[in-house]
Structure 1
């Protein structure tokens, strides 16, 4: 009996376009289905910006552990049959940042959305940064329309919503929290710059070798032992946390590998941080839930660190 391919999207808070160390890109390639994967960059969200394409090529063309390519759509080169064959031959599809709403519209015009679904079902690793992370979910937090707002649209390959740049852009945290609290967006994943998370069949999948990279249960939450706690994704050293945003009290917390950062615990009802010693390279930052208010009520939804 044939084994169904594992379906995996990955959310990135960095990579070649923002980082000089290449750790997140290395991490992506280690999760490809082949030792020397074919990696295709889709710069659609930026309007196929030439500078963005060149930055990808500078980062990937010299690598010997992958075979890189770029798929432009604003000056499309393939007919429908060739486009399908090209995308389905890729082991990794890496989507760049830009405008999430425009990205989805262009993909649908060219049928790329359906081809990516087909590639996903066949085991291609789908990943991306910013708009390239937003696109895989049911909805997202975006500045596609100018001010920060919510977008109730996406490819729906990843349950819930996504918010990129959670720790670096002013207004992201309260705006995304408000959208989830009001039901304008479903509960989802807030990605700090420098973070990464791999999902397997809709669940955040654990990877890597650090025994401290584990999730911790919030009191009374679904993440308690014996209640289906899901392990966090392993993130390269020096990269930060992924946060789970939910309207319900206490689901789970996600740890992330960190470099030279203090290990902390944040109590469920406060933002008070208590150091638990220093973390060296390859150790984990592990935090519990932090309660946030909704509609004037105490802690009706929580932020998971």
Structure 2
């Protein structure tokens, strides 16, 4: 897969505690190289929850040209031809049900359109289900209890586990599924952290808060092994503090 993917384990505007500001979201905009990028929010996984889309528009107002792709035809956005994704600088995918997202996307042809958009320079980003969708496989609660899913878009090789330390059971079950072979090895990303991929390879891991790690998880024999990934702590433009590194291994 050609192009850039930013996979958020958690964080971004949807987990902001106040005004929707997010250093990870700032970094996503910076990746476009434009002063006022075109950013489309795709809230399919939440069933196009209106409040979610409104929070996106509020968070990005004034610094991006925003749009919402509502495949459920919610007002005031209505239905738009999904080919509009090819005109975006960023496609930002919200959280919710990974299974439902993938099913609806395939019916509307988004699987092919998103690959084409990425190859043409569009940054693909997403949180939670919006992280899971880019990988071959993932840990998901789409069926209620956490379960392994081997049905992603495959833009990134391996499996994904968002909210790694932020939600009970995520870490233990993901390690168990990788150890048993139910899921291939992959990346486990905590809340407020993200991994940036380019052309299928890791560029870096980033975080907007301290003590939120990223791991590469591999199957070794009958066990799953966590390899910490060096995480760059993003610095606010209003602060003179230098960016620091978290973790013990390099990329």
1:10 alignment partner, one of 6, 9, 12 = 6
Q: How many residues align?
A: 235
1:179 alignment partner, one of 177, 180, 189 = 177
Runs of 5+ unmatched residues, structure 2: 235-240
Deviation for aligned residue 1:50 = 0.7
Report the equivalent of 2:232. 257
2:247 alignment partner, one of 286, 290, 301 = 286
Change (3 A) 1:239 1:252: closer
Q: How does 1:33-48 map to 2 (within 5 A)?
A: 33-48=33-48
Runs of 5+ unmatched residues, structure 1: 206-231, 260-279, 289-303
Cα root mean square deviation, aligned: 2.4
Deviation for aligned residue 1:15 = 0.5
Q: Pick the structure with more helix per residue.
A: 2
1:244 alignment partner, one of 213, 216, 222 = 216
CA distance in 1, matches of 2:225, 2:48: 41
CA distance in 2, matches of 1:117, 1:178: 31
Q: Runs (4+) of structure 1 moved beyond 3 Å?
A: 234-239, 248-253
* CA distances 1:138-187 after superposition (whole Å, capped 9, x unpaired): 00000000101100111100010100100111111110011111111111
Which of the pair has more CA radius of gyration?
1
* CA distances 1:193-248 after superposition (whole Å, capped 9, x unpaired): 0001110111110xxxxxxxxxxxxxxxxxxxxxxxxxx33444647221111113
Q: How does 1:109-148 map to 2 (within 5 A)?
A: 109-148=107-146
CA distance in 2, matches of 1:181, 1:122: 37
TM-score by length of 2: 0.86
Q: Is the 8 A contact 2:4 2:122 kept in 1?
A: yes
CA distance in 2, matches of 1:234, 1:102: 28
* CA distances 1:71-95 after superposition (whole Å, capped 9, x unpaired): 10011523xxx431x1100010000
Q: Is the 8 A contact 2:128 2:162 kept in 1?
A: yes
CA distance in 2, matches of 1:239, 1:9: 23
